[in-house]
Amino acid sequence: MKAHGSFYDILGVSDDSDLIAIKEAYKRKLLAYHPDKKPLHHHMEDKTIVNRIQEAYAVLSNQRTRAEYNEGLTQQSKRAGVVSDGEGLDMFDLDDFKMVQEEPPMDDYSNSYSRIYWEKDCPRCSTEQGFILTETALSEQGTKVTETGESGRYEVLAQCNSCSLWLKIIYYDLDEVDDTFLHG
């Protein structure tokens, strides 16, 4: 056994184990790795492992500290891009992105319109502007969501331009939302 990993891994229990299972695993691991039960050359490594076993038990056997620990694991997973909506994708609202409006150059006489896009730093690899969504991408790649009953709701999938993280981005077509609201 290594002295790292989640506290659940250290004790060899699942994250939904009850207190009895955690206590039994703690006793079993403590007996297996206690320095008094091993030859001298394993002594230092086993002390570290025993300390981690005791730390894991102290956290997981207390309802409050276990809840805090689980929340920390969830946040760590979110930063790593692992938090799921059931489909294995992180969900964000387009409002979580920064809207950028680029004006055409002053010397451009071709009646160019300003360009609008949305950007977000990647929550996994921290690449600045890891996600960029254009109006074209939203209109051509967005899928209307009908099962929620919300009018004008769309979603689009996007991948970070630097790592393998995919996000599901929710947004609304305000013309449809306003129309439903006014005539609903």
Name the least confident of 1-10, 60-69, 133-142, 158-167: 1-10
Confidence of residue 79 (pLDDT cuts 50, 70, 90): low
Q: What is the mean pLDDT of residues 105-130?
A: 80
Residue type, 71: E
Q: Give the start-to-end residue ranges of the domains of the chain.
A: 7-79, 90-183
Read off the tokens for 176: 């449809």
* pLDDT surpasses 90 at 144: no
Query: Within 13 Å and on the Cβ side, how many CA atoms surround 69?
Result: 16
* pLDDT surpasses 60 at 141: yes
- CB-based burial label for 120 (10 Å; 0-12, 13-18, 19+): buried
Q: How far apart are CA 12 and CA 21, in angstroms?
A: 10
What is residue 2's predicted lDDT score, i.e. its pLDDT?
Answer: 47
What is residue 149's predicted lDDT score, i.e. its pLDDT?
Answer: 64
pTM, two decimal places: 0.48
Contact 79, 86 (CB under 8 A): no
The tokens 């659940």 sit on which residue? Answer: 8
* pLDDT surpasses 90 at 5: no
Residue 117 vs residue 34, higher pLDDT: 117
Read off the tokens for 112: 């160019």
Q: Which CATH superfamily is domain 7-79 in?
A: DnaJ domain (1.10.287.110)
Residue 17 vs residue 36, higher pLDDT: 17
Q: How far apart are CA 26 and CA 53, in angstroms?
A: 7
CA 179 from centroid of its chain's CA atoms: 35
Strand 90-93 versus strand 166-172 pairing type: parallel
Contact 152, 173 (CB under 8 A): yes
Cα–Cα–Cα angle for 173, 88, 136, nearest 5°?
Answer: 30
**CA distance from start to end of the chain:** 62
Of the candidates 91, 93, 82, the residue with the CA atom closest to the CA atom of residue 168? 91
pLDDT digits (tens, 9 = 90+) for 21-36: 999 999 998 888 876 6
